[in-house]
Amino acid sequence: MEPVQALQKYFGYSAFRHEQGAIINHVLNKKDVLALMPTGGGKSLCYQLPAVMLEGLTIVISPLIALMKDQVDSLNVNGIPAAFFNSSQNPEEQVQLTTKLRNNQIKLLYLAPERLFGNESKMMGFLKTLPVSLIAIDEAHCISHWGHDFRPEYLALAGLKLEFPNIPVIALTATADKLTKKDILEKLNLKDPAVFISSFNRENITYRVVPKRKSFNQLLAFLDERKEESGIIYCLSRKSTESLAADLTAEGFAAAAYHAGLDNALKAKTQEAFLRDDVKIIVATIAFGMGINKSNVRYVVHMDMPKNIEGYYQETGRAGRDGLPSEAMLLYSPGDAIKLKQFAMIADNPEQSQVMLNKLNDMVRYCQLQACRRQFLLKYFEEDSPPNCGSCDYCLTEFKKFDGTLIAQKALSAVARLKERFGYTYVIDFLRGSKNEKIREEHKALKTYGIGADISKTDWLRYIRELTGMGYLYVSDDAYPVLKLTPKSDAVLKGLEKVMLIESQTVEEHQHAEATLPFEAELLTELKNIRRDIALHENVPAYIILSDATL
C-alpha cells in the first residue's frame, strides 16, 4: 500500500501536510530523520503512519504521561493498537501488556525515557526481544540544555543507538533554533540523518506586543470581545496563575489555574475541562500546553515576557490549530526583562548564563521591535519571509513616514564617536547634550556632542529602535547591551542611502508609543525589588529559581 492510501485508510486524511510525505518515505526506507515542524503541524503522523505500515513494533519516547495517554487513546479510536507502560498500572495490567507485546498485537508502544534506562529497569532487555522496527523520539528538544524544556532523563537516549544500532530513529520537535538543532543531532547520535524543516509560519495567528500598564484591566478589555472563546493566559509564577484565575472567575469567566505544583488529579481534571470547553480560560505557567491538542484555542496571552523566543513561539503556536484567525498578545514591561536578566546572570554556569542572556536579549528585541514581527520570528528560525506580513500589530498599523536621513546620520555618528561602547540611554544623553556633569566634561569637545538637542528623549529612543529594526544599528548581546554600527551603517553616514522614519504622531496612536521607555525611576525601583527577591532566595541555588521544572 502507498503511504497516501494508508493515510486515508487509517487516519481518514486525504493528503499529507508540510513535509510529512517526504519524512515518511525516509522513515520507511530505514533512514534516520530529524523533523522540525511547528506546533500543530502534524508531527505525530510522521511516525504513526510508518508504524502501521511497517512490520513489528514502533517505540515512541515521549516526555509526559498525559501526552502519551492522549495519543494512545486517539490511536485506539482509529483502530490502531497502541499502548503505554505507566506507573499507575497494576502488575496484572503490566503482564497483560507484556503478553500482547510478545504476541505482536501492539503496533505502537509509548514510553517515558526514564522507563527505558532506569537502574533496575528490565525494560531494555525486554524490548530487545521484540521485533522493533522504528524508534520515534517526540519533543526531542528536551535533550538540549539550551532548549526551553530540558529534561535530564532525555540525555540517556544517547544510548539508544548502541542498543538498537540497526533500527531507524526519527526525532521530532517544534523547536528549530540553531543551537538546539545541533544539540539534538549530536546527543542522539543519529546516523547520517536527513533533516526536514517545514515552514514555521503560522499565517492565521496575529502577533501583538502591548506595553504593560494596568495588566488586569488590559486583559479584561482584551477578553471583552472574546467572552465565548477559549484561550490560554501565561504567567511567569505559579502564584500569579492562581490569583489571576481567581480574579477572572470573580469577573464571571470560566477560568482555572494550571501549574506544575498542583496535584496530578487536579491537573488532569483542569485539562479535560478545558478540552471539553467547560473551562474557557486556562491561566498557566509554561508547564501547561505541551502536546495539548485543542484545536479551537482562539488566543494566547503572555502577561509577562517569556524567557526566549522558542518558548514564546511554541506557546503562541497553541492558538489556532484549526487554521482559523487567532490572536497572540504579549504584555511587555522593561521591568520584566530586567528581572529575568538578573536571574540569568546568577545562573551557576557561566556558559549557561551567557546563552540565557543572549536568548533573553533576542526576546527583548522582539518586544521592542519597530518592524514586522512575523518576519523577525521566522528569521529567528532561519526562515526567509517578505517584510510585511499584514497581520502583526506593526503591519496592521498605517504609518506616515518622512525622510529621516539626517536623524539617522546623527544617531549613527554619535554611536561611532562613542566608539560603540554605550547603550541607548548614554547615546541619547550624548545626542541631546546632557547636562550630566560627567558626560558633558568627557565629550563636550566633540562636534557631535549635542547635535540632537532638538529631539525629545522619547523620540530619540524610538528612532534608534527603528534604526535597529532596519539593521542600521545593532544591539550587542552583552549583559549591558551597547549600540554598534553594522555593515549597512556606512552608506547612511556617507549620504548614499535615504532613511525613512515613522512620524511621531502616528506612533503616538500606535500602541507602542513610549511603551518601552526605560523610565529611570521605574528601573531603579525594579532593581531594588530584584535585589530583594534575590536576597530572599539567598539559600536557594539559582538553577532552582530558573528551572522551568519549578514553574
What is the binding site for ligand ADP (CB under 6 A)? 13, 16-17, 20, 37, 39-45, 293
Report the distance separating Cα 2 and Cα 147, nearest Å: 36
Query: Which residue lies nearer to ligand ADP by CB, 127 or 171?
Result: 171
Contacts of 169 by beta carbon, 8 Å cutoff, 6+ apart: 32, 33, 134, 135, 136, 137, 160, 161, 188, 190
List alpha helices for 202-279, DSSP H.
215-224, 238-250, 264-275
Q: Which residue is nearest to Mg ion (CB)?
A: 43
Nearer to Mg ion, 43 or 373 (CB): 43
The one of ligand ADP, Mg ion, none whose footprint includes residue 42, by CB under 5 to 8 A per kind, is ligand ADP
Residue 311 to residue 326: CA distance in whole angstroms: 18
Using CA atoms, how far apart are residues 534 and 290, in angstroms rounded to an integer?
30
Give the C-alpha separation, 454 to 114, whole Å: 64
- Shortest distance, position 61 Cβ to ligand ADP, whole Å: 14
Q: Which uninterrupted H or E stretch holds 111?
A: strand 108-111
Shortest distance in whole angstroms from residue 45 CB to ligand ADP: 4
- Helix-strand-coil percent breakdown of the chain, rounded to 5? 45, 15, 40
Contact 334, 518 (CB under 8 A): yes
Nearest-approach distance from CB 71 to ligand ADP, in angstroms: 8
- Give the nearer residue to ligand ADP in terms of CB position, either 74 or 354: 74
Nearer to ligand ADP, 17 or 182 (CB): 17
Identify which of residues 40 and 311 has a Cβ nearer to ligand ADP in the complex.
40
Out of ligand ADP, Mg ion, none, which partner does residue 334 contact, by CB within 5 to 8 A per kind?
none
CA dist., res. 78 & res. 321, Å (int)? 20
Residue number of the CB atom closest to ligand ADP: 42
Task: Please state the closest distance from residue 5 (CB atom) to ligand ADP, in A.
Answer: 13
Contact 167, 59 (CB under 8 A): no
Quote the least distance from Cβ 460 to ligand ADP, whole Å.
43
Give the one entry of Mg ion, ligand ADP, none that residue 37 binds, where binding means its C-beta sits below a cut-off of 5 to 8 angstroms depending on kind: ligand ADP
Three-state secondary structure of 202-218: CCCEEEEEEECCCHHHH
We find the least distance from the C-beta atom of residue 18 to ligand ADP, in angstroms, to be 8
Nearest distance from C-beta of residue 276 to ligand ADP, angstroms = 16
Which span (35-43, 307-315, 453-461, 510-518) binds Mg ion, by CB under 5 A? 35-43
Minimum CB distance to Mg ion smaller for 18 or for 43: 43
- Least CB distance to ligand ADP at residue 73 (A): 13
Shortest distance, CB of residue 17 to ligand ADP, whole angstroms? 4
Please choose which of Mg ion, ligand ADP, none residue 368 contacts, taking the beta carbon within 5 to 8 angstroms, the exact cut-off set by kind. none
Helix (H) or strand (E) run with residue 297 in it:
strand 297-302
Amino acid identity of 66?
A: A
Q: Which residue, 67 or 244, is less far from ligand ADP as judged by CB?
A: 67
| C-alpha cell, 476 | 550587542
CA atoms within 13 A on the CB side of 226: 21
For ligand ADP, the closer of residues 292 and 431 by Cβ is 292
Pick from 75, 130, 72: nearest CA to 101: 130
Q: Residue 361's binding partner, choosing from ligand ADP, Mg ion, none, with beta-carbon cut-off 5 to 8 A by kind?
A: none
Which of 44, 59, 57, 41 shows the shortest CA–CA distance to 10? 44
Per-residue string for binding with Mg ion, 38-67, x by CB under 5 A?
-----x------------------------
In the complex, which residues of this chain contact Mg ion (CB under 5 A)?
43
